[in-house]
Homo-oligomer: A and B are copies of this chain.
């Protein structure tokens, strides 16, 4: 069962850095019903790897990646709002990305996919909204990379939304985050199976992708969480093969790599990861403050987590202050969640009430 819907982008579809896609499409899902004057629409942009399946529905009862946040009578209430979640252009979960077939060659795009920015990811949803009859959003919601995409969207289309929910996100990538992402891409690209992106289905750059994912997990959680959760617990006091895993934290990273490696395409990962490093909100007007003012947002909810090492709390504060200086009414919450960057995916006790309260007042 699937709740996936597809929307054909105008063809050719021109990207910001000059490239072009033919016959490209977006995959999306919706929850709730659009009201008569199309004034109750919420749009969710996702982080790097999630699909459009943010929550279960009658058409697809599988748990979504934001299951506890979205649905009837949840914080993002599908009884009240018409909620759209889009799989990012460039991803591999239904939207056209480097793992899709290039109609010009009949093969997957791989590195022939054009250069992709988060502005492209954002802008590609504009014709979809028009198609759905939505001229204005009630609110735009973005966690992590999705928050960058949301800010790009709001800066490119001032007034498209009066309300912003920006969660554990950043106005630009800092060098520590870029260093981590660059190293993840290096691990993938230097896997001998990567083969300049032309890996066969039975010969994936799996080892490099495992390292990329594990490095991701190291940056997504927090040292404090792992100290409490794993301490020095061992799974193996003396492995038969020297240097095999011994500590529980190593088994945890292996389990995450196992789950991820079969479910995401390495080339798509490269493109979206690079797009995050390229992202700089100051490209929209010359300075972050100018870009934030351009959005003409009435209200904003800005949430960050003090243990986040990838999108540090100073970056959410910078967004909150910039919006406030521009006249937006901002609710800013630096939360003490212990799960680092991933808190928005797990610490619903803290996050859900804030989202519910904010949307409840709209």
| Contacts from A to B (Cβ < 8 Å) | 111, 115, 172-176, 178-180, 182-183, 185-187, 189-190, 192, 207, 210-211, 214-215, 217-218, 222-223, 226-227, 229-232, 242-243, 245-250, 253, 270, 274, 277, 280, 309, 312
Q: Quick one: given A218-B179, A218-B180, A242-B111, are A186 and B174 in contact (CB under 8 Å)?
A: no
What secondary structure prevails in chain A residues at the interface with B? helix
What is the CA–CA distance of A173 and B253 in the complex, to the nearest angstrom? 17
Give the complex CA separation of A112 and B249 in angstroms: 27
Contacts of A172 in B (CB 8 A): 232
Q: How many copies does the complex hold?
A: 2
A-B contact pairs, 16 of them (CB 8 A): A175-B223, A175-B229, A175-B232, A175-B248, A176-B222, A176-B223, A176-B227, A179-B249, A179-B250, A182-B247, A182-B253, A183-B211, A183-B253, A243-B270, A246-B277, A309-B309
A34 to chain B, nearest CB (A): 40
- A165 → chain B, closest Cβ, in Å? 25
Chain B hits for A248, CB < 8 A? 175
Known contacts A187-B211, A223-B309, A309-B223: does B180 contact A232 (CB below 8 Å)?
no
A180 to B189, CA, bound (A): 20
Residues of chain B within 8 A of A245, CB atoms compared: 182
Partner of A187, one of B179, B187, B227, B274: B187
Give bound CA distance, A190 to B230, whole Å.
25
CA distance in complex: A215, B232 (Å): 21
Give bound CA distance, A226 to B274, whole Å. Answer: 19
Q: Which of B174, B211, B243, B249 contacts A274 (CB 8 A)?
A: B243
